[in-house]
């Protein structure tokens, strides 16, 4: 294995209260491509900043090869003081770096270099920042949400570019497809600590679920062990005082482990408020067109959207996705053609404006519109704090101003507000931005199972494949086409041709997203323990006690300092017997715990 260019070991950092990082590790060698994943607020960006040397940990070791070059892409690039995008990008080059590389990157990212940094959109600023950090071809490349605000064609180009780079790459992203195609290893930051999987993100979820299941199982075992030890101390056969004190000390240690265990973070509960059923026809557009000056955004487009359809709008930034969306919902009048909306429509909209809320407004005030402490969700009155918990907000955050929220928390807040409104038509413009993987999974389930109709604008290919029933995509020159199926189905129908008309069409991976195998039907549980199992459950504690007593006698024997000098062979036999008894004890305790858990399950 190549020596690490970067190694963080035992990193600790606390901002008051529960540690944000509590012994986290992160290492990267030349050619590594690592996905850094975890919940919003778990400390991913902070760990990346520590790797970049922008934040100092309170404890732990940070090593970077002295000769290694490091470039870090922040979520919010600072371009103050630069007269043009070219000046900003070239400022990231070293003396020996090739300036033509900067020009190449800007061209492929859709920039001329002459743009004024002060007037860039969010997507353009992200492209400029990417060009700046990638141009030097650094030894270590640290990317925090590189795909945010990028359109699909640029994301696909970036995948290819990063797959070819020789830089050690550590990236944070909410885009599943992007992580699957770029990463070769995965580091999971969870409750302050890291675990590493030497496989790409495509294998992460199965691995994570196995870890959490095993952790839950071990915690339950620990609880049952505590119960057994407490029972032994109260009612067991009196043993030697020294053994009693040892077992009492072990019990106190188990209690401490049980109390201090940080369980897995809670899961958001996303449920859309139901409205009365709409008519069968939701939207009918006939030959609609829209131009802005000489620019024809939409020409002669027609579509019918019926109740239950989930329609995705895709295309490069500036293609007119939001314009089409507004015309379809009646918010914007077409220059030509007609749009007819169905009856009984109740529309709930989530737009791209993450600053829609007053930054000084509290979370509770924003969710209730200032109407007290309660709100009505699905016809049921809920206290605002109870509803906030469904979206992973803590009770004390009810009085927190919106300005203090992270990007992910703000995204969850907007979702909470939208989903509280009764609706039979959900209009979601880039809903996946800033969401962590778990919340993204729940949003995906909500959209896929929504009883009404959904209009969705997104650059997240995996999310589109898992949710929509049809895709509306631009074909250039103002023409839009309605394709059946998800994003991969659209590519297949286009012969693999991408949406970016500036590139030469070439065959893309149009295979549908892998579907999860259906779990085997569980066997019907036995109504009760068998006679053999019941007999074992009742008699195992006696066997455990007897083996424990034998272990105590053997430990007392080898504690005699003169034993080895007096009888070396006997001493070695006693050591071997002690090891055997300890193995037997572990097996008996494991069998007892398995039977006790089975009994609880059958009785529960």
470 is an annotated ligand-binding site residue: no
Rounded Cα–Cα distance for residues 396 and 415 (Å) = 19
Q: With 60 as the cut, is the pLDDT of residue 248 above it?
A: no
Out of 206-210, 237-241, 548-552, 565-569, pick the least confident.
Answer: 237-241
Distance in angstroms (rounded) separating the CA atoms of residues 224 and 433: 43
Q: For the residues 378-386, what does the mean pLDDT come to?
A: 83
Cβ atoms of 347 and 418 within 8 Å: the answer is no
CA distances from residue 592 to 229, 548, 595, 600 in whole angstroms, order as listed: 13, 14, 5, 12
Whole-number pLDDT of residue 66? 92
The answer on whether 320 is annotated among ligand-binding residues is yes
Between 124 and 536, name the one with better pLDDT: 124
CA dist 588 and 581 (Å) reads 10
pLDDT at site 283: 93
What was the pLDDT predicted at 251? 58
| Distance (Å) of CA 2 to CA 25, 66, 169, 334, 392 | 17, 16, 15, 60, 41
- Of residues 441 and 197, more confidently modeled: 197
* Least confident among 502-511, 536-545, 546-555: 502-511
State pLDDT tens for residues 434-476. 777 777 877 888 788 888 899 999 888 988 998 999 999 998 8
Is the confidence at residue 47, as pLDDT, over 70?
yes
Whether the pLDDT of residue 278 is over 90: the answer is no
**Spatial CA neighbour of 154 closest among 123, 199, 188:** 123
110 is in an annotated binding site: no
Above pLDDT 90, what percent of the chain?
Answer: 35
Least confident of 134-143, 531-540, 550-559: 531-540
Q: What's the distance, Cα to Cα, between the start and end of the chain in Å? A: 50
Question: Residue 276: its pLDDT value, please?
Answer: 59
> Model pTM greater than 0.75?
no
Sheet strands (E) in 388-527 = 425-429, 453-457, 470-476, 479-484
* 233 pLDDT higher than 80: no
pLDDT at 151: 83
Question: 125-167: per-residue pLDDT in tens?
Answer: 989 999 999 999 999 999 999 988 888 888 999 999 999 999 9
Q: Are strands 193-197 and 185-190 parallel, antiparallel or unpaired?
A: antiparallel
| pLDDT score for 430 | 84
How far is residue 526 CA from its own chain's centroid?
Answer: 37
41 is in an annotated binding site: yes
Q: Kindly indicate the confidence band of residue 526, based on its pLDDT and cuts at 50, 70 and 90.
A: very low
- Find the mean pLDDT for residues 114-122: 87
The more confidently predicted of residues 218 and 285 is 285
Q: Evaluate whether 117 touches 79 at the Cβ level (below 8 Å).
A: yes
More confident residue, 431 or 178: 178
Is 378 labelled as part of a ligand binding site? no
Say if residue 39 carries a ligand binding annotation: yes
- Whether the per-residue pLDDT at 259 is higher than 80: the answer is no
Residue 42 annotated as binding site: yes
Q: Which residues contact 462 (CB under 8 A, 6 or more apart)?
A: 175, 176, 177, 180, 513
Instruction: Judge whether 530 is annotated as a binding position.
Output: no
Residue 220: per-residue pLDDT: 72
The whole-number average pLDDT for the span 344-367 is 78
**Alpha-carbon span 174 to 440, nearest angstrom:** 8
CA of 147: how far to CAs of 150, 262, 444, in Å?
5, 32, 19
Of the listed ranges 76-85, 215-224, 289-298, 476-485, the least confidently predicted one is 215-224
Query: Is there a binding annotation on residue 319?
Result: yes
**Highest-pLDDT range among 97-111, 436-450, 551-565:** 97-111
Residue 512's pLDDT is 36
Long-range own/partner contacts, residues 99-103 (CB < 8 A, 24 or more apart): 101/135, 101/136, 101/137, 102/131, 102/132, 102/135
Q: Is 326 annotated as a binding residue?
A: no
Annotated binding residue at 38?
yes
498 is in an annotated binding site: no
141-150, 217-226, 563-572, 580-589: range with lowest mean pLDDT: 217-226
**Percentage of residues of the chain with pLDDT beyond 70:** 83
Asked whether residue 318 is marked as a ligand-binding residue, the answer is: yes
pLDDT interval class at 257 (50, 70, 90)? low
322 is in an annotated binding site: yes
pLDDT of residue 83: 93
Render pLDDT for 315-333 as a digit per residue (tens, 0 to 9).
887 788 989 999 999 999 9
Q: Indicate the average pLDDT of the chain.
A: 82
For position 525, what pLDDT does the model report?
44
Q: Beta partners for 59?
A: 12
Report how far residue 485's alpha carbon sits from residue 471's, in angstroms, rounded to the nearest whole number.
7
pLDDT tens per residue, range 81-103: 899 999 999 999 988 899 899 99
CB 464 within 8 A of CB 312: yes
Residue 424 has pLDDT above 70, yes or no: yes
H/E stretch holding 374 reads strand 374-377
Q: Which residue has the higher pLDDT, 533 or 193?
A: 193
Specify the pLDDT at position 511.
Answer: 33
pLDDT at 513: 36
Closest CA to 394 of 385, 406, 404, 402: 385
């Amino acid at each position: 294995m190549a020596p690490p260019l970067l190694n963080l070991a035992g990193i600790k950092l606390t901002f008051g209260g529960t540690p944000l990082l509590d012994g986290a590790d992160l290492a990267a060698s030349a050619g590594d491509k690592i996905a850094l994943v975890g919940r919003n607020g778990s400390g991913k960006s902070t760990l990346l900043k520590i790797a970049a040397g922008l934040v100092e940990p309170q404890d732990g070791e940070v090593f970077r090869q002295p000769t290694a070059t490091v470039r870090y892409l922040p979520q919010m690039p600072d371009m103050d003081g630069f007269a043009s995008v070219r000046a900003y990008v070239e400022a990231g080059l070293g003396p020996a770096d090739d300036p033509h590389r900067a020009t190449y990157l800007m061209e492929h990212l859709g920039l001329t270099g002459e743009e004024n940094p002060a007037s860039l959109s969010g997507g353009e600023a992200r492209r400029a920042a990417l060009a700046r950090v990638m141009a030097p071809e650094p030894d270590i490349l640290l990317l925090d949400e590189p795909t945010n605000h990028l359109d699909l064609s640029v994301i696909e180009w970036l995948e290819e570019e990063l797959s070819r780079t020789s830089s050690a790459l550590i990236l944070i992203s909410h885009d599943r497809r992007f992580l699957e195609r770029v990463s070769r290893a995965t580091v999971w930051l969870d409750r302050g600590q890291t675990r590493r999987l030497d496989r790409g993100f495509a294998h992460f979820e199965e691995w994570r679920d196995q870890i959490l299941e095993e952790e839950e199982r071990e915690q339950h075992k620990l609880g049952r062990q505590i119960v057994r030890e407490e029972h032994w101390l109260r009612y067991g056969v009196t043993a030697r005082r020294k053994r009693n004190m040892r077992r009492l000390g072990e019990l106190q240690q188990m209690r401490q482990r049980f109390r201090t265990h940080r369980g897995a973070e809670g899961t958001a509960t996303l449920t859309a408020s139901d409205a009365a059923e709409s008519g069968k026809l939701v939207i009918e557009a006939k030959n609609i067109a829209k131009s802005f000056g000489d620019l024809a955004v939409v020409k002669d487009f027609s579509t019918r959207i019926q109740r239950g359809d989930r329609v995705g709008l895709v295309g490069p930034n500036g293609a007119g996705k939001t314009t089409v969306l507004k015309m379809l919902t009646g918010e914007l009048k077409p220059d030509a053609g007609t749009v007819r909306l169905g009856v009984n429509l109740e529309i709930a909209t989530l737009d791209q404006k993450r600053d829609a809320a007053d930054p000084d407004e509290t979370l509770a005030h924003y969710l209730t519109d200032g109407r007290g402490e309660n709100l009505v969700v699905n016809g049921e009155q809920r206290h605002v704090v109870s509803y906030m918990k469904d979206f992973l907000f803590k009770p004390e955050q009810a009085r927190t101003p919106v300005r203090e929220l992270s990007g992910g928390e703000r995204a969850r807040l907007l979702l909470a507000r939208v989903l509280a409104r009764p609706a039979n038509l959900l209009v979601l413009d880039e809903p996946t931005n800033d969401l962590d993987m778990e919340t993204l999974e729940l949003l995906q389930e909500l959209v896929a199972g929504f009883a009404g109709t959904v209009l969705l604008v997104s650059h997240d290919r995996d999310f589109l494949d898992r949710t929509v029933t049809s895709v509306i995509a631009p074909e250039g020159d103002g023409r839009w086409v309605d394709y059946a199926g998800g994003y991969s189905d659209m590519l297949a129908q286009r012969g693999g041709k991408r949406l970016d008309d500036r590139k030469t069409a070439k065959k893309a991976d149009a295979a549908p997203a892998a579907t999860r195998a259906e779990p085997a039907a569980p066997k019907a549980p036995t109504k009760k323990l068998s006679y053999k199992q019941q007999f074992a459950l009742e008699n195992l504690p006696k066997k455990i006690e007897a083996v424990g007593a034998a272990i105590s006698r053997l430990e007392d024997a080898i504690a005699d300092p003169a034993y080895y000098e007096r009888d070396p062979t006997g001493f070695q036999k006693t050591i071997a017997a002690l090891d055997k008894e300890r193995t037997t004890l572990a097996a008996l305790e494991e069998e007892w715990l398995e039977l006790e858990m089975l009994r609880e399950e059958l009785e529960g």
